[in-house]
Amino acid sequence: MRHVGVTVLAFIATLVTGVGAQSTFSVHPATQDPAVRVTLPLLARWERELSNWGRWGPADQRGTLNLITPEKTAQAARLVREGLSVTLSHFVSEEEAMDSQTFSPTEHWMTSVDPATGLPRFALDAISFSLHDGQLSHLDALCHYRTEVDGRFVIFNGYPQNLDADGCKDLAIDRMAGGYVTRGVLIDMPLMKGVDWLEPSTPIFVSDLEEWERFSGVRVQPGDMLLVRTGRWAKREREGPWAYGQGGAGLHASVLPWLHERGVAVLVGDAVNDVQPSGVEGINRPIHQLTQVNLGLPIVDNGYLEDVAREAAARRRWEFMVSLQIPRIVGGTAAPFNAIATF
């Protein structure tokens, strides 16, 4: 079987994620260290070695969500002590900014208006926004990214990427829909490094993740929801929006085997998860590519991690129960992420 994979999909990934000119952001030199440097041939090898295709059967459409077992849910429930809950989500706004109105405009309107007066007759309204908006915390469906095998575009578990005007036919968000309760583990990189936020284009390596485990005393385990804070929202609140999708801190591609080994069920970042630029020549979002297509690992972009970071630091406890409900958007390529962390 001829597997083309990441070497062909660099251009496709650029189109999907809306990456534009990157002249103002440079690849972080640490990503080119031979000890961590990732190349397209290495990614192609990992496509095979880290693959979860067939792990939960040929008809599976949930990927690593299968790792959230009843036993994992019971473990998570035992973490609740105070009963304090905080949101992990950020919603769209009508602000016109470089990290807003992504892919389509955000519009809000009253739906029952008196044509004579122009005033609302009832408190009824509607909203329209992109599911991949730059300010929306959203969970990507596993149909969002694809690879190429024997001249065909395929998605996780070997399904053909079958799209039409109504959306994805397989691995759409409605195939992942339902309620999940699991253990959340926060990795707060700015806290560990003693800064308010990581500067744009700062990569996070396995050594950073494992240093955090020693710092926090919490080891990432199968079925966990892993939340990686870079401080994107803190920086935005202090300094305003910037093109975080082109120059944001995030995970370096070298963490992919670690995510697979640890059995992460859901990966949540407060920006786009991938460090930007990625430092991998030829592909800008290798974390997106391999988590969704090969690992079957659902990822969340733009998670709001400021409240949970504050409460975790106050308790010096970085594990908690997380409850997640995935809306049944038929054919959807993503859904708003509306998870709640409870201490």
Q: What is the pLDDT of residues 34-68, one digit of tens each?
A: 999 999 999 999 999 999 999 999 999 999 999 99
* pLDDT computed for residue 102 by the predictor: 87
* pLDDT computed for residue 6 by the predictor: 56
What pTM was estimated for this model as a whole? 0.94
> Residue with structure tokens 């970085």?
318
pLDDT at 17 over 60: no
Share of the chain above pLDDT 90, in %: 92
- Token pair for residue 214? 């020693």
3-state secondary structure of 202: coil
List the domain boundaries for the chain.
Answer: 6-97+128-342
Share of the chain above pLDDT 70, in %: 93
Asked if residue 247 lies in contact with residue 235, where contact means CB atoms within 8 angstroms, the answer is: no
* pLDDT computed for residue 24 by the predictor: 84
The model's confidence at residue 19, banded by pLDDT at 50, 70 and 90, is very low
Contacts of 24 (CB under 8 A, 6+ apart): 243, 246, 247
pLDDT at 3 over 80: no
pLDDT at 285 over 80: yes
Write the pLDDT tens digit of every residue in 154-171: 999 999 999 999 999 999
- Token pair for residue 182? 């699991």
Longest dimension (CA), the chain: 70
Write the pLDDT tens digit of every residue in 122-143: 999 999 999 999 999 999 999 9
Q: How far apart are CA 289 and CA 99, in angstroms?
A: 22
pLDDT at 15 over 50: no
Average pLDDT, the chain: 94
Name the DSSP letter for residue 34: T
Helices of type H across the chain: 6-17, 40-49, 70-77, 189-193, 206-216, 232-239, 256-262, 286-290, 306-315
pLDDT at 11 over 80: no
* CATH fit for domain 6-97+128-342, picks 3.40.50.720, 3.50.30.50, 3.40.1350.10, 3.40.640.10: 3.50.30.50
Q: How many helices (H) and strands (E) does the chain have?
A: 9, 17
Report, as an integer, the average pLDDT of 75-83: 98
Report, as an integer, the average pLDDT of 240-251: 96
